[in-house]
Structure 1
Amino acid sequence: MHITLRQVEVFTEVLKSGSTTQASQVLALSQSAVSAALADLETQLGVQLFDRVGKRLVLNEHGRLLYPRAVGLLEQAGEIEQLFKEDNGAIRLFASSTIGNYLLPGMIAAYRRDFPALPLELSVGNSQDAINAVADFRVDIGLIEGPCHEPDILSEPWLEDELVVFAAPDAALLQQPITLESLAAAPWILRERGSGTREIVDYLLLSHLPQFQLGMELGNSEAIKHAVRHGMGISCLSRRVITDLLEAGTLVEVNVPLPRLTRTLYRIHHRQKHVSKALQRFLAYCRE
């Protein structure tokens, strides 16, 4: 059976209009095309939907059975058309932890104020997790804390971010001049391997030290900043992560003898992924 929406539409319009002539005018089809579509539908179903009384078409028991279902089917088809005209598909994002926990909440809130009903799914992990999710098409787009070198993934600069070294106010490091040697002697509390923050800290900061003492690795920035606050070592994270504790005085920034530590945050998507209008609209909020 190959019933078409056009045949169903012709049936409902003939019923409403009362004749194939009137229906053809409404549907902008020839009368013969309307008659043929109705005849094809009846052939597909194996029943007559109208009794032919002279030149009149009178709905019979089969037509009455079909009509409410036909109307429901056309309404659903119209909803599908409208859905994609407005491009309201669900957006699936994967963000590395700093971005997902500290940057995106405000951006998503602004987006939600204007589009409260649009579905949006956010997953948070480290940068490698985000890259894997994009590569496997489990998400539409990724937001990560360093460049991506996978050949099948397009990586575009998104935002600039500043990294700062920080310590507890009474840290031993702060009782002496800050040098590369004193930084090397301090215990460092760092993100895990695979984290975008760890990759950048290794490159921009730790590579300049004669050596460094790894105190511990922790899987999220919240754990790190509170470990530092309790005097367990020093660390380097995005300024966005520790702004509240710097302002409260429970952490202090360490001025290191190196150029300003900045990094680029990146937006990634698969080369074969179509970036929809809905996704472009959300990314505009992210840029703002």
Structure 2
Amino acid sequence: MHITLRQIEVFTEVLKSGSTTQASQVLSLSQSAVSAALADLENQLGVQLFDRVGKRLVLNEHGRLLYPRAIALLEQTSEIEQLFKEDNGAIRIYASSTIGNYMLPGMIASYRRDFPTLPLELSVGNSQDVINAVVDFRVDLGLIEGPCHVPELISEPWLEDDLVVFAAPDAAILQSPITLESLAEAPWILRERGSGTREIVDFLLLKHLPAFQLGMELGNSEAIKHAVRHGMGISCLSRRVIEDLLEAGTLVALDIPLPPLARTLYRIRHRQKHLSKAINRFLSYCSE
């Protein structure tokens, strides 16, 4: 059986109009096309849906059985068309931890004010987790803290971010001018390997300190900044992560003998992934 939406539409319009002639005018079809569609539907169902009374078509018990289901089907079809016309599908975003924990909340709040009911799914992990999810099509878009070199993915610059080397106000390193040697001798508390922050810190900073002292690796920026606050070592994180503690004076930024540390944040997607209107609409809120 191959019932079509056109046949269902013809059936409901004939019912409303009472004749194939009037239904053909409403549907912008020829009368013969309307009659043929109705006949095909009745043939497939194996019943007559109307009693033929002269030139009039009168709904019978079979037609009455079909009518509410036909109306429901057409309404659902209309809902589907409207759904995709407005492009209101759920957006799945995966962000690395600095972006997901410190940048996106404000952006999402702004988005939610204008689109309070549109579904949005956000996951947070390290950059490698994000890359893996995008490669596997588990999410629509990834936001990471460093460049991505996976050939299946498109990596586009998104925002700029400043990194800060910081310590507790009473840290020993602050007792004398800061040099590359004193930086190398201080215990460093760093993000785990695989995170975007660690990759960029290794590239921009630690390559100048070949003999640096690794105190510990932590998988959470919150843990790192509080470990530093309690005098366990020094670290380097996004200014966005420690800005509140810098302003409060419980952490201090170090004036290091190196150029300013800055990085580009990236958005990534699979090469075979289409950026829908919904995704582009969300991205318009994800700016400084």
TM over 0.5: yes
Q: What residue is the counterpart of 2:74 in the other structure?
A: 74
Please list, as runs of the form range in 1=range in 2, the aligned pairs for 1:195-274 lying within 5 A after superposition. 195-274=195-274
Q: What residue is the counterpart of 1:9 in the other structure?
A: 9
Would you say the 8 A contact 1:91–1:140 is kept in 2? yes
Residue 11 of structure 2 aligns to a residue whose secondary structure is helix
Aligned mates of 1:212, 1:44 — CA distance in 2: 79
Deviation at 1:34, TM superposition (A): 0.4
Identity %: 86
Would you say the 8 A contact 1:181–1:210 is kept in 2? no
Residue 278 of structure 2 aligns to a residue whose secondary structure is helix
Would you say the 8 A contact 1:99–1:143 is kept in 2? yes
Deviation at 1:12, TM superposition (A): 0.4
What are structure 1's unaligned runs of at least 5 residues?
Answer: none
Would you say the 8 A contact 1:180–1:210 is kept in 2? no
Aligned mates of 2:190, 2:170 — CA distance in 1: 20
Deviation at 1:209, TM superposition (A): 1.1
Q: Does 1:172 align with 2:160?
A: no
Residue 266 of structure 1 aligns to a residue whose secondary structure is strand
Please list, as runs of the form range in 1=range in 2, the aligned pairs for 1:100-139 lying within 5 A after superposition. 100-139=100-139
Aligned mates of 1:73, 1:53 — CA distance in 2: 28
Amino acid at match of 1:252: V
Q: Does 1:151 align with 2:151?
A: yes
| CA displacement, residues 96-133 of structure 1 (integer Å, 9 cap, x when unaligned) | 00000001001111111111111110000000000000
Q: Does 1:275 align with 2:275?
A: yes
Q: What residue is the counterpart of 1:160 in the other structure?
A: 160
Would you say the 8 A contact 1:145–1:264 is kept in 2? yes
What are structure 2's unaligned runs of at least 5 residues?
Answer: none
TM-score by length of 2: 0.99
Aligned mates of 2:67, 2:30 — CA distance in 1: 23
Deviation at 1:55, TM superposition (A): 1.1
Residue 255 of structure 1 aligns to a residue whose secondary structure is coil
Between Structure 1 and Structure 2, how many residues are aligned? Answer: 288
Aligned mates of 2:46, 2:264 — CA distance in 1: 66
Aligned mates of 1:166, 1:140 — CA distance in 2: 35
Deviation at 1:286, TM superposition (A): 0.6
TM-score by length of 1: 0.99
Aligned mates of 2:287, 2:218 — CA distance in 1: 30
Deviation at 1:210, TM superposition (A): 3.7
Pairwise CA RMSD: 0.6
Would you say the 8 A contact 1:153–1:269 is kept in 2? yes
Deviation at 1:234, TM superposition (A): 0.4
Amino acid at match of 1:216: M
Amino acid at match of 2:259: P
Aligned mates of 1:46, 1:222 — CA distance in 2: 69
Residue 78 of structure 2 aligns to a residue whose secondary structure is helix
Aligned mates of 1:177, 1:211 — CA distance in 2: 19
